[in-house]
Structure 1
Amino acid sequence: MTSSSSSFYIVDSLEILTCPVCFNLYKEPIALPCGHSFCRVCLETSWESRKEDKCCVCPNCREVFLQKPKMKENVIIANLVEKMKLKKRKFRLGVDVRHAEHGYSKSGCNDSHCELCYREAAKRCVPCEILCCEQHLKPHQQKGHKLVDPGVKIEEQGFIEYGKPILLYCKDDGILMGVTCTCGKHSNHNVVGVEIAHAELKGVLAAKYPHVSESMQSVASRLQQVQEEEEQTEKLGKDAEDRLEGKRRLVCQFVNESVDLMKIEINKRKMEKLSLLGKQREKLEQQMEFLRQGKSTMDTALQELEAVSFLQGYKDLLKRVETMSDFKFMKTLLPVLDFSKEEKNLDVLIKLNKKFLGKIQKGPVSNSGKVELDQNNMRNLYGRTLRLDPNSANRQIKISRDLRTATRAKTENQYPEHPDRFDRYLQVVSSESFSSGRHYWEVDVRSSSFWGIGICSNSMGRKGEESVLGGNPESWCLWKYKNKYSAYHNNQKTALSVPGNPERVGFFLDCEAGELTCFGDSRVLHVFRGTFTNPVKPAVGVGSFDGSVQFSSFSHLERSSGDLVRWRVVCPSVRQSVSPSVHKHLKLLLRNR
């Protein structure tokens, strides 16, 4: 191989066997799955500088490896590098021998000659570290190698890409550079020493440090808030699940106990009826046997007895036959096993549960949600039998013994003084007050042509002009006067179109939804909206002389006293755990006819 061809070979091999990161010959070359190779140290340094990516990236083709690949030494490249180093040393040795034969010395006057021939050197190739003439310079130019004047010593320059110390920093381009770079494209740039640039830029970075610290504190604070919200959400979710599990147990316990009670009652009625039927069957069997014997005697007398024998026993036989003819069947009134009404109530509950389940399946339950109910369902589920509070009654209002009827009397009653008593208007409130849940009650108004019915807060004044129902912000009232109806609240009246004269008005109070729905017989007359989470009481007013209004009773929805005793004994845990509305509904399902 000639010296020229050796030069080309060395230049090509240097290009191939150079690490793309440090631009030096490979040291411990490592091959990645993508096919590219790097020095082990260069690759690990590159990955260490990108820890925030949480993945490994090829510095050449940018292929991403989700997990750090196993780094195996590229034996082929390592061997080629060793051979290249050996060939380079031999090439150097051969050049030096030729120089010695012709009297040249690298350190003498001939250090400006081409190292591949004997011509005058035009440039020095920095990566190949050889002097080249114009002819041998072309391969290096085609490879884009860094070229300097022959007299420039490479060891005095600062080329970072060839492992040499960097001396300067270009502030305009923001890059490190060697001394010889100042005469190129950086000739008019702001170039300073590395130490000066280091001090200046370190100050700039230090000035931004507090902002980074503040940002870190802000992010840390928000991160702590998010973590606390996550923990709170987990806790709230678990608490809700625990509550639901408790309700599941209560519902299951209620269903089991209610079914057991109903089965006991059914079995009791069945045994009573079977006992009566058994006695009736025994009596009928005895009568059947008596008739069978009498018929046999008659057959014998008619077919077998002679005249004398027949006549001798005729009177006794006739008397017996008459007894048989006068036989009366035993009639006993037996109870009927009829649980149709209870089953109907169960059907209502099932229907409501299906609607509620459908709402849950459609989306998250943002609030309790008002289930569409008719008045019959409201009576069954939320019906309240209210009692009047005598301490609140105006002296011209007479209260019945059962505390359900208010009548306007012609004379004043001798009621004692009380701070809750209405002194000006003929009004009275109930003993019950509501601040949560759903409640339904009805008032019979057939006996009065002038009345006002609604609710008022416990704190509403009872004295003077401001105490009329609906005439203040703390009361909501439905009024009837001269066959005209109006909704009255905060001294504002709304005329209502009501066909006919309802005999019974109903009120459905949903405290959480903030609604008071007024019914006239089966029609919705008006809906008041307000805040009903503070205690409110149903109230009535009677304006016509001798007129009266009466709270309707829902006692038919309650169990008998004997059944309530059994309920308390059998279901004490359920009775104490459920809400009043559910408790009343449980009593409804278990009531006796």
Structure 2
Amino acid sequence: MVFTKPFFMGFRSSSPDPIPCRSGSCQTHQRPLMIYCTSCADSLCDECLTKGGHRGHGLARFKDVLQKQIEAVTRRSKHLMSSLKKQSDVKTNMAKAKAHAEEMIEQTKVNLEKQYQELQELMEHNRQHAFRLLLAQKESLLLGLDTLALQDEQNQQMIVYIEQELQQLKKNACYLDGDSAAALLNVFLLQNKSRSFCFLTSVKTMEDFYKSFKKQMCVNNKRLKGLENSVTQIVQKSKEFLTRPWEFAENITFDEMSLTGNLKISVDKTTLCCATSAPQKEYTKCSKDAVGTILAAQSFTAGCHYWEVEVKDLTGWTVGVVDQDWKKRRLEKSLGEDKTSWVLQLDDNMLFAVHNDEIEIVREPDHFERLGIFLDFSKGLLRFFSVDTGCVLHTFFVKFKTAIYPVFSIKEKSSAMSLTLCKLVPDVDSLYEEAQDEVVTAV
């Protein structure tokens, strides 16, 4: 009886498998096979036994070995059937997971719409009150000016009246002379004491009024400026807070030509992992124990840019940017070792900001799955975010002079662990389909 090495869908038994034998004779001695050596996983003839080469080995009848092989194949068949069943469960669960994801996205969309609506209502409420205050100030200022105009008109009338009274006094005085004139004048003054006092008071009041008239004519705009400054602060704070990095989001991909070390990327050039079986490419130092490095296909020479990297489950990675000079000499320097690279690095559960061979510990208590990178080329700002919490991990302030390239490296040596560039901008087709859906919904 002849036995061949069993192999079924990649499963291996724990005991040695029989060596393939296509004839009933021993290939060494050309004699009939008699027994099976379980130690060597080989079929033996009488000559093999007498030579003593299998002394002390485990021997078994072909019938027993056959039975064990049949049992092994049966077990593997059952395992395969179980795997196939689980595969169908996976598809069902995957469908449920996709449905749940759609539900979560829709709920998030509803929540965002609600929050932005509330924000718009708050702004509108604030705007209405600001213009109400402005209208009240307008009425107050115009009323003050109208009051000045009315006072001026009354003063003009009073001036005319006073001039008439003075003319009358002068006229009366012309007919009086000597002691009798003085006596008559005294009587007149006594009789009109209160009236004369009123004249004097009116003149003094009018003099004071016209002395300060120009000053009172100048409209006090301090309250108006205060209102304008308050709204300006709202605008500035809104710009500061509402300007989120995702406004500058874009999709980036890996540059396969820049790949060094034992790495490989996915077909869509967004996933990076270790190529355990691939030949090692020209290797850069990149970072301690790193497998290799790769640059993004995109580079930046102006403006603001934002991208995200998924680092879930990775225990060692380096993410950041390098300039044109580092790209030219990437085989000479590790990431963060010189002045032309700025990176954030995770190593042994510690997070570091590294530049020019200077290391700064980044204190981030919570584990995060996504890393956000914001680059403002003009202002020379490079900022790293924990996307999960929204907090800033570290900020580099740099005067960029040449083109800037996103750079990536991983420490994992298992192909099961990967670093992924996140898709932040939908495809044109997706945007078109969404627009069409909104039109249909509206109809």
Q: Same fold (TM over 0.5)?
A: no
TM range (shorter): 0.3 to 0.5
Higher CA-based Rg:
1
- TM-score normalised over the length of structure 2: 0.42
* Greater relative CO (CA pairs within 8 A, separation 6+): 2
- TM-score normalised over the length of structure 1: 0.32
